[in-house]
Structure 1
Amino acid sequence: MFCISGFSCPHCGASNSQQKKTRNCSITSSTNLFVILISTLHLVSWIGAGNAAPVHTDTGAMMYLSNFGWLDPSSKKIGSQSLIDIRKSIQDFQAFAGLNITGELDEETVETMSLPRCGVRDKIGHDARRRKRYALQGSRWKVKNLTYRIAKYPRLVEVLGRDRVDAEIDEAFAVWQGATDLTFTRKSTGKVHIEIRFENREHGDGDPFDGEGGTLAHAYFPVYGGDAHFDDDEKWTIKTYRGTNLFQVAAHEFGHSLGLSHSDVRDSLMAPFYRGYNPKFKLHSDDVIAIQSLYGKKTTPPPPPPRTPSPARPPNKFPITPAATSPSSGKENSKLCNDPKIDAITTMSDGNTYAFKGSEVYRLTDNGIFFGYPKKIFILFPGLPNDIDGAFTWSNDKTYFFKGSHYWRYTNMTMDASYPKSISDGFSGIPTNIDTAFVWGGNGKIYFFKGDQYWRFDPARTPPVSFGYPKPISNWNDIPNNLDAALKYSNGYTYFFKGNKYWRFNDRSFSIDTADPPFPRAVGSWWYGCGKSNTMKNGSPTSNDYNDADVGEYDDKNADSEARDNKGLGTDSQDSRGSETNSGKSWWKKAWSWTKNIFG
């Protein structure tokens, strides 16, 4: 248990064990006014796979918040800040980390704090404001031909192989070279722009490492020299799930060396949370936009891939804008415009968004309905019934459809063997005849809505539906009951559909988004192109099109807003991210292994 000093707690009689020293990055914890649940926290900067430092005291939590930039550095004790300030800091972190915004140190927040992560602060300056999903520190190199040197190799270099260490570092720099005109040249002697060292404990920069399982690495922005240091007490590994993957950490740290701060896009390389080795690395679009905002777009062809496979985190499944750029429909669909109510909507692994209505399926584009649609469901999705209840696409690229008491699983548009199956078998704890299903971008979990209640399904938990569900939909702050469909769109918002209206939900502020015109809006005109010319201007949607006016990047005035209390939405679940830190595997590996029969 975790207690805030100044409040009585019947569970906190024994003294708390001492917290391990932390570094300068920051995750928010939360302050329940009475008792705050806390599980074992593994703190600090790229935290290792095991033996990380737990936080057992309120002082430790405040130090954690302060060290990572979420609290004023002078406020490492509860008594020096008001509970309102502490709660606001917790909410800011929860919004940054994509968590339910409760302002409390709930289970989900605590588990996110225990994730392996980078040692650079999340907020540069106490009053820093985020204007984009990515963040820039403010300094950059004035030249594009940069040099670097590994001034001190790891102690296990003879085991790893010097050539292999060189190759890992080279490839980590190549990640950024592939998106810009920057070049990186390794030198063995002389002055260089970026010096790389493997050090342990106190090593002369005022940021001592803490041994195995604590701080993994830290790097300095260009204005401070750009050097990168790696904790030599860690078990650095190459191309394996064991230990700490050198490539993944190095690629992230070199982003700091080039001027990038942490991103709040959970799948980006510059997100602070370490995900371990993944052989299918692809630089996220958020990282590309960030680095190109500093150094410009690449004007020369990228070099061939350095190797196959190449490690890091799961690739981004969906594009930032709808993938369909082919010819759009020359006229609106009268059936859908006259009755915009749909049964389900989902973005599939091909990046295209499909809406289902009765016996037909519609493919949506930037400016309405894709040419040649609608199509009959039985033609496009053989074996799938009409009038489905809901659909979502999971991180394994499988799409799940629900109707009545059964569900169907498809790979692209082909039904997998042995389907359909009973919902009670594959999605234990979920009711039949649901209204809608979707994956919420705020925490990556699956939500089912029915009537005035919702259920959260976490395939990495046993049982997958936590105690306390179902909960009232009123927790979602003005989202209506009896929904028709819901969608996590590629722009980071969640969309809810009912009848001829839709609501855009800001996952970061946990509220219906603020816009002009306000929400709810008419589905037909904004999504299906009803009553509009459906013409293209200079190859882009017209200014009246929904993509231009509705699904852009987060508005600044919403990005930093304080969300209303979501009344404990999903706070009792285990966050599946980082649940395999002891083995070095990423969270989705565990989810797949635990639910092999369901999610294949």
Structure 2
Amino acid sequence: MKVWILIVTALVTAHTARLSPQVVDPEGFLEKYGYLHHDHYLHNAVEVQSAIREFQWLSRLPVTGQLDGPTLKQMAEPRCGVSDEGSQQIWAQRVNVIFTGKRRLLHRGRRSAAKAEKWYKHHLTYQIVNWPRHLSLGSVRLAVRAAFQLWSNVSGLVFQEVPKGPADIRLAFYEGDHNDGVSNAFDGPGGTLAHAFLPRRGEAHFDMAERWTLNGHKGHNLFMVTAHEIGHTLGLEHSPVRHSLMSPYYRKLGRNLVLSWDDIIAVQQLYGKPLGDHPVRLPGQVLHAALQKWDFTELQKQQETTGLPLYCQGVFDAITMDQNETVLVFRGSVYWTISAEGTVSGPLSIRQRWSNLPQAIEAAAFSPLDSKWYFFKGKRIWRYTDSVLDPSFPRKSSELGLPRHPDCAFYYAPLGHMVLFKGSRYFVFDLKTLRQEPYYPRRLTDWTGVPQGTNGALTHRDGRLYLFRHQRFWRFDPGKVRVTREGQWAKNLSWTGCSNIPQSNNIL
């Protein structure tokens, strides 16, 4: 769902509302997520305003009943595909139980909030049907196990994985329409990331086309999304509470406790408290460290098994080349080196070479102009001379006129400056003054043929700029000022160290 489409739709909606009592549901969003319940897409203006108010309440936005800027922006964010129908009523009942100790029946035309679905047993089995191309089964199993344990720690539930045969809860990855109905078809990167079914169907589906990760910030954290969808398979609805795991818009894995008080109360009202005296509530930083360790171990195991590093399957956070023509590929907390002769080394720890860097970076570039390393993450930039952090760094990107969360960064010889891509724009950074060049940022369309969302770029020894996104690359010729070739980099570029890649057999 694109914001500009929603804005145009909103303008049409407002115009139509002035002419008749019928208005248009923006791209079927309110219909899809349970705010409107009719067989056609024209609705009474009062109904739509009420639906927008309900959406704003659940999204913790100012409740205006209007398709204002913050509401349209929120609608465009990646989210869970489960309908929000009944969330407000069930949450109200949950709060009522907290204060009164009694359940109050709340009847409504849709679903009765008193009829929350649940499993009528406390020992549940689960099964991982398949997994994403760029994550190993071991990594996925660890993330899924941790997600189930999160709920088990605070409730009377026990979970057990069964590799084959029947299981209460099944987790699978699909692309596009996967026989769940048109409204549940996955839409590629962004939009709906996953959806699940309440008991007793017990299934959680994830969009295969998304970039799933355990520790990086370029992509979606599989552990967090899985934990959210498991909540649905247990019978939990979406929550309006800030920092709740069951918010329809997935939260990030930060320092806070992963489960909010509302998450815990919701699952305990269905399944009771754990046997121990106190629930085990791990903070996000502890789980993040565990995921980092698991991921690193799995990377080493897979490389020993296949003889190929994991980045060869098309997932990395950044790529650059140093003064010795050694290519460096970064993923999560590790990196690999590929020498000019094609020898691959790694995975190596980023922080062992460049101390003070965060656990994962978003962009990296070596500059032959000053022989320094530049790293970008969130709203900060780090600069190193060899492995030593330069004085006054890290610095805020905003102080230097640069964007937060850049897609990629690279030194570009024709300009004599560093270039950063972010969405539909690019920035030119003067490394001598540490300031953005005047008249920038400009539109990415200046780079004819280069797509948005590239996750790495470097100028190779042939003098051409190579840009990467997932499994594909684009070769940009500075002389012709356009892309002259594209393809699958792991197969077509021998200098990536990824020749003779075995075909994966883990995809249905």
TM-score, scaled relative to structure 2: 0.47
User: Which structure dedicates a bigger proportion of its chain to strand?
Assistant: 2
User: Which structure dedicates a bigger proportion of its chain to helix?
Assistant: 2
TM-score, scaled relative to structure 1: 0.40
Higher relative contact order (CA 8 A, sep 6+): 1
